[in-house]
């Protein structure tokens, strides 16, 4: 399987990056506008995504202040409703506003990933192009830390022989029966995979997604991608050789990324 670095210039299909940005955040208020080395975070994310092979990068914001911040820095943005229950719903509206449909390729880059690898974006777009049997594509990488394997905040994925997702879970999957039974503090020989929340979609599917009924497993795990699988849609998974750059969920995360951008030790 190719690494992101190997596919960085190989994308041969035009695709659009959409960046959902919601002003309200419990752990970090006004997160999209948080300052990162002199730029609002959502602008940093869009600029980083523009380093990929995307034909277009558009922020889908829920507040005028986000749109204005983007426009001030030459970033395209569309205003979406404030009451969307998920990022996918927001992106579905953005697809409508941008007249994207059918087989148009869309990559969803989260608005709190200012250090996302542009090559990883390309990898997701390329995989969606190659896997015509799948409605979505995404990324995973090997877990090296037992604590991450056991952490419910770290989402795991198991794949079939074609690198198609079989299941996503917050539980430690695949479950190592013997290791977990004896409390072994090592990882199984077949390394579990951590899911990275970077998605490629066919825009027609993305526009239909909000109309799909919520799946019981989705509610149980609080993982939206399980809705697609519940309704029979396949998700292709690119195996990355490395983890993505750190995201920003808390004030501590913000301080860490600020230090990284300023060249200081993390």
pLDDT tens digits for range 107-119: 999 988 999 999 9
Q: Tell me, what CATH number does 118's domain have? A: 3.90.550.10
Burial classification of residue 230, based on how many CB atoms lie within 10 Å of its CB (0-12 exposed, 13-18 middle, 19 or more buried): middle
Give just the sign of the alpha carbon dihedral 168, 142, 236, 112: positive
Please check whether residue 266 lies inside any domain of the structure.
Answer: no
Query: Domain span at residue 21?
Result: 4-260
The number of beta carbons lying within 10 Å of the beta carbon of residue 192 is: 22
pLDDT tens, residue by residue, 201-219: 999 999 999 999 999 999 9
Please check whether residue 265 lies inside any domain of the structure.
Answer: no
Please check whether residue 193 lies inside any domain of the structure.
Answer: yes
pLDDT at 213: 94
How far apart CA 175 and CA 26 sit, in angstroms, is: 32
Please check whether residue 93 lies inside any domain of the structure.
Answer: yes
pLDDT at 181: 61
Q: Which residue has the higher pLDDT, 177 or 206?
A: 206
CA angle at 256 for the pair 186 and 145, rounded to the nearest 5°: 5
pLDDT at 7: 42
pLDDT at 128: 96
Phi, psi of 92 (to 5 degrees): -60, -45
- Say yes or no to pLDDT of 3 above 70: no
Stated pTM of the model: 0.89
Q: Which residue has the higher pLDDT, 246 or 96?
A: 96
Please check whether residue 71 lies inside any domain of the structure.
Answer: yes
* Number of domain units in the chain: 1
pLDDT tens, residue by residue, 141-162: 999 988 899 899 899 999 999 9
């Amino acid at each position: 399987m190719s690494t992101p670095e190997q596919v960085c210039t190989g994308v041969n299909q035009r695709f659009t990056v959409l960046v959902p940005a919601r002003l309200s955040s419990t752990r970090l208020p006004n997160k999209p506008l948080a300052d990162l080395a002199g730029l609002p975070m959502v602008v940093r994310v869009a600029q980083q995504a523009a380093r990929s092979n995307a034909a277009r990068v558009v922020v889908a914001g829920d507040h005028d202040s986000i749109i204005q911040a983007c426009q001030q820095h030459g970033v395209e943005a569309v205003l979406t409703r404030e009451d969307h229950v998920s990022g996918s719903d927001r992106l579905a509206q953005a697809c409508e506003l941008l007249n994207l449909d059918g087989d148009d390729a869309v990559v969803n880059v989260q608005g709190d990933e200012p250090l996302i690898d542009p090559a990883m974006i390309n990898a997701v777009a390329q995989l969606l192009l190659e896997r015509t049997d799948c409605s979505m594509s995404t990324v995973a990488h090997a877990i090296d830390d037992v604590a991450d394997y056991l952490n419910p905040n770290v989402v795991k994925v198991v794949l079939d022989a074609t690198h198609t997702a079989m299941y996503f879970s917050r539980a430690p999957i695949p479950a190592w029966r013997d290791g977990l039974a004896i409390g072994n503090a090592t990882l199984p020989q077949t390394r579990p995979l951590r899911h990275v929340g970077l998605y490629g979609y066919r825009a027609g599917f993305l526009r239909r997604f909000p109309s799909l009924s919520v799946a019981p497993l989705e509610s149980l795990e609080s993982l939206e991608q399980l809705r697609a699988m519940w309704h029979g849609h396949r998700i292709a998974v690119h195996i990355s050789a490395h983890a993505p750059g750190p995201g920003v969920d808390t004030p501590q995360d913000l301080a860490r990324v600020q230090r990284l951008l300023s060249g200081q030790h993390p």
